[in-house]
Structure 1
């Protein structure tokens, strides 16, 4: 039975677990339920980089440089946690023998395919942000939130391939589809906020809702198809690829 703690302490534990934000140490924090608040932590991260982006815009920094700085700080805030997972996953998927994939993913050394995956993710994010001009702060929050809701969905829906590890801890926290609903409703509300901000224009909010939910679902499904389940690394890959593809889709509209 997971220990209960109030929502504020759960959020604090989630921020400490998923980010490098310096926070004071509090004795007795329970990290076993942090996955339940992953989308909220995503909104915190997105809000921080969105605030940075807005500040740099008022300072007159060109959009391409600003986007690159935002993506760099974005990585720094997460400590590269999810990007590292995306890199390890790419190295594992490059192995022809399925039985060796988990072994390769567990290796701390980064291979060529991992490096290429990281370059692709960073290029997608930077170039997409360069093409997005309006409400960038909200788009960044939505991208971070949907990425982490996709992680929640993968945790609940697919088997975990290792007996131990951080991912196994998450599997205990997301035990029912009911654990997905708060994050889903929150992300629908965040995406729908653009309807109110943008003069009740419905197109972009609907794209953000449908696109975010679809991409978050399909990335987890694809990794499950390739590996027969998930690990902590693939959870990180789901976050990174959902964020990157979500931003790319928004540039179309």
Structure 2
């Protein structure tokens, strides 16, 4: 029962899904459940995508609507972080980057970053040949596992902030294993349920894990650590790049 309440809290924290607020929710450990939240988001997107496909909607229009719904379900939380991160990285002075990222105003680089992410996701989905629902679940899951990796490995750069308490929930590599095993299982569905060769789920695991890890490492290299904004940037860029890579194989 306790884990169910924690999952409920994680859904409330990371999405705009209209769940009722339940008494006794603890938001301190929500980061432990983000891969499950990602699979829920991906599952919803897959159902909508499949329904629109059954109605005969063209693939490009369907893909654009799915990406729009994707943004709506998360409340733009991660995309906003990616935009703030892009604005911060555009500043040459490393000391001022965190100040720029904390500014709520969106700059040119933030806007360009959002456009690039949305275009990449829409284009990749349009080129996806089959099993789009599994690919969507994989993208959302790996993106959030990448967030867990960034939380566990790299320092948090602010004494306070929305992401500060995540460091208490995800402390070392052992906290990453449940999400990783969950993503292995999702990738395996490609082989079991869709008649693909074993190569496809192997590519999903390698590509998803590598992109998730190296995206977080790149932001750490640029900033010397992470913030709540860069956690969101890891999610968004991992999702977009994972979809792009999968167009080669699916």
Give the superposition deviation at 1:201: 1.1
Flag the 1:106–1:69 CA change in 2: closer, same or farther, 3 A: same
Report what 1:177 is aligned to. 173
Alignment partner for residue 146 of structure 1, among 135, 142, 148? Answer: 142
SS in 2 for 1:168: coil
Alignment partner for residue 158 of structure 1, among 125, 149, 154? Answer: 154
Whole-Å separation in 2 of the counterparts to 1:17 and 1:142: 21
Alignment partner for residue 96 of structure 1, among 87, 92, 95? Answer: 92
Whole-Å separation in 2 of the counterparts to 1:171 and 1:81: 19
Which consecutive segments of 4 or more residues in structure 1 shift more than 2 A?
Answer: none
Whole-Å separation in 1 of the counterparts to 2:143 and 2:23: 29
Give the superposition deviation at 1:200: 5.3
Show CA shifts across 1:229-253 (max 9, x none): 0000000000000000000000112
1:132 is the counterpart of 2:128:
yes
Report what 1:69 is aligned to. 65
Show CA shifts across 1:123-153 (max 9, x none): 0000000000210001000000000000000
Equivalent residues of 1:219, 1:238 under 8 A apart: yes
Whole-Å separation in 2 of the counterparts to 1:87 and 1:199: 39
Unmatched runs of 5 consecutive residues or more in structure 2: none
SS in 2 for 1:17: helix
After TM superposition, the score normalised by the length of structure 1 is 0.97
Aligned residues: 249
Pairs within 5 Å for 1:53-64: 53-64=49-60
SS in 2 for 1:201: coil
Whole-Å separation in 2 of the counterparts to 1:131 and 1:162: 40
Whole-Å separation in 2 of the counterparts to 1:252 and 1:190: 19
SS in 1 for 2:163: helix
Show CA shifts across 1:89-140 (max 9, x none): 0000000100000000000000000000000000000000000021000100
After TM superposition, the score normalised by the length of structure 2 is 0.98
Segment drifting more, 19-28 vs 116-125 = 19-28
Whole-Å separation in 2 of the counterparts to 1:200 and 1:143: 18
Alignment partner for residue 32 of structure 2, among 32, 36, 48? Answer: 36
Report what 1:223 is aligned to. 219
Whole-Å separation in 1 of the counterparts to 2:65 and 2:196: 31
Equivalent residues of 1:192, 1:209 under 8 A apart: no
SS in 2 for 1:180: helix
C-alpha RMSD of the superposition? 0.8
